Amino acid sequence: MDTSNDFLSIRDFSPEKIRELLDLAADIKASPKTYAAALHGKTLAMIFEKPSLRTRVTFDVGIQQLGGFSLYLSPAEINLGKRESVYDVAKNLERMVQCIMIRTFAHEIVQRMAEYAAIPIINGLTDFSHPCQAMADFLTIREVKGTVAGLKVAFIGDGNNVAHSLMFAGAQLGARVWVATPLGYEPSAEAVKWARERGQQTGATITLTNHPVEAATDADVIYTDVWASMGQEAETEQRKRIFLPYQVDSELFSHARHDAIFLHCLPAHRGDEVTDAVIDSPHSLVYQEAENRLHVQKAIMFELMKGEAVLRPRRAEEREIVHT
């Protein structure tokens, strides 16, 4: 991986390194026994400020399959920024574990954790990005399509954290990413700007539209996500009315290529952003995609943690002064 010893955003790496990481994930998936003791005796601390099924299980199982251990830390146990500061949590955990995975709200929290901690930090999800999910998405696409470059990947729904990371990964790998949202729900301008600039180097394109059929037409991949993410529950009914024309149903999916695949980061709200007829169809790879979270996260942990000593020596400036 690049000089960064953290996995905060897909933007932090070169296209070559993203491909190398996907190659490693594919190798781990194909030959898990080869990596069974790769992180023997090492511990991953998992900080959850948001609930999770796939993130919790895949990191927990993944570190164990690499020979290590996990420690689950719930919101009640840490309560970041209230019971204990991000700085103090980082400085405590860096002396006890070899890596921290954090699933939280503000992206600034994972950035600060990475700044303060001398051990690797993995972004398990923030309101701005979901990089582990996008890595699993593109591993799935590559498994089925054989390549990513040049494919039309259409995200239909809310321009949220999942859309951001899908754009980042697509830009790194040369995909043609379309994002169809209602007016006013587009991805952040910062995310779009970065993805378009990276696309100039890789041949990728990023296209925004407010017309779902335009995005779906001739798509190789159609992707959607919930209309109201965690923290937006008060907007649920309003969003249902606004996003209804963006539901991925059989009619919308029919505009895609005949061999198009359907992806969803899950959990899915069946009958809202996607119908049963699509998510349960032969085109749907949502469970293969969910499994691939395990493999890409094992690759990320392997790369970040393989050089982390189980008993880290304290940095010189942190050693106690001994008076003689």
- Catalytic status, residue 130: yes
What angle is formed at CA 281 by the lines to CA 275 and CA 287, rounded to 5 degrees? 90
- Catalytic status, residue 56: no
**Residue 155 near residue 323 (C-beta atoms within 8 A):** no
Polymer length of the chain = 324
- Catalytic status, residue 232: no
- Across the beta sheet with 176-180, what order do the strands follow? 205-209, 176-180, 152-156, 221-224, 261-264
- Catalytic status, residue 269: no
The residue annotated as part of the active site, out of 225, 239, 247, 264, is: 225
- Catalytic status, residue 103: yes
The residue annotated as part of the active site, out of 11, 103, 164, 264, is: 103
The residue annotated as part of the active site, out of 142, 176, 198, 293, is: 293
The residue annotated as part of the active site, out of 137, 239, 265, 295, is: 265
What tokens were used for 263?
């992806």
Closest CA to 216 of 167, 251, 183: 251
The residue annotated as part of the active site, out of 54, 107, 112, 130, is: 130
Q: With 0-12 CB in 10 A as exposed, 13-18 as middle and 19+ as buried, what is 234?
A: exposed
- Catalytic status, residue 270: no
The residue annotated as part of the active site, out of 133, 172, 247, 297, is: 133
7 pairs with which residues across the strands?
A: 122
* Catalytic positions: 103, 130, 133, 225, 265, 293
